[in-house]
Amino acid sequence: MIKIKTIEALSELTALKSAYFNSSIVPLDGMWHFGFVPMAKHFGFYVDQSLVGFCCVNDEGYLLEYYVESNYQKFSQELFTLISQQNSSIIGEVKGAFVSTSEPSYLALCLDNSTTFKVNALMYQHRPKLLDDKIESIDMQLACAEQLSEFVTFSVTNIGAPEQWLTQYYGNLITRKELFGYWHEGQLLAAGECRLFDQYQTEYADLGMIVAQTVRGQGLAKKVLTYLINKATNQGLKAICSTESCNIAAQKAISHAGFSSAHRIVQFEFSQD
């Protein structure tokens, strides 16, 4: 019988998180798993006091990760059903889940227990042979602490992200030297991220970009991505990225920059009956 307990320190999950990432078919999205997941509530699954699995749920009530060790898979389906049907007094309400198609076991459980689902984002990996040789890179500058408010205002204006979250997020990227900007005539027109992994997936770099609405459709996104790809490659890393399923313009730019997408992030809704 599996017991569920709240995890107080993420360090308790180091070995299980490693196994979780290793079980994925392709590298998992960095923003989801290293941006959103650390802020979510984590719960451990125990058998005779041994930690054999975990899950995490964000503030909106969605599962972001779910994993059970292979030796205890016989408990996994019943446990997932318990959670998805809101029957765990420890975890509480779970409205649905976000899961990538590169996580077959977790995906299958969501399919078994969901009422509806939709594609949330496309996951990409860089394929150098697909790169458009005509794309030129641009010169981007490493962001400094004094520019934090400028980047926050830029992103609030152009993508509508929450200011408080952006301040913490960009502050961390600046400290880690992973945030870059492109200015023209003193105006910030693009922000680029080349996020490295401290543990798990350490052979990859997760890229992100935002281009000002006023200059979209002019090829700047492809140039930003090319700069970031070169940044990753020069460090011996493979580039990955993702974008929302509705962002057709970004998808085109990403494809032209030599990325291909075989996997998706899917949002599932569980029955609330």
Look at residue 153 and give its three-state secondary structure: helix
Average pLDDT over residues 141-161: 96
Q: What is the pTM of this model?
A: 0.91
Are residues 251 and 142 part of one domain?
yes
Residue range of the domain that includes 79:
3-121
194 strand-pairing partners: 207
Are residues 172 and 104 part of one domain?
no
Nearest to 242 by CA among 23, 28, 22: 28
Single-letter code of the amino acid located at 25? I
pLDDT for 1 equals: 79
Last residue of one domain, picked from the residues 87, 121, 155: 121
Write the pLDDT tens digit of every residue in 245-256. Answer: 999 999 999 998
Inside any domain, residue 115: yes
pLDDT for 271 equals: 80
Q: How far is CA 121 from CA 18, 96, 220, 241, 271, in A?
A: 23, 16, 22, 10, 22
> Given pLDDT bands bounded at 50, 70 and 90, which one contains residue 84?
very high
Q: How many whole angstroms separate alpha carbon 257 and alpha carbon 223?
A: 8
Inside any domain, residue 66: yes
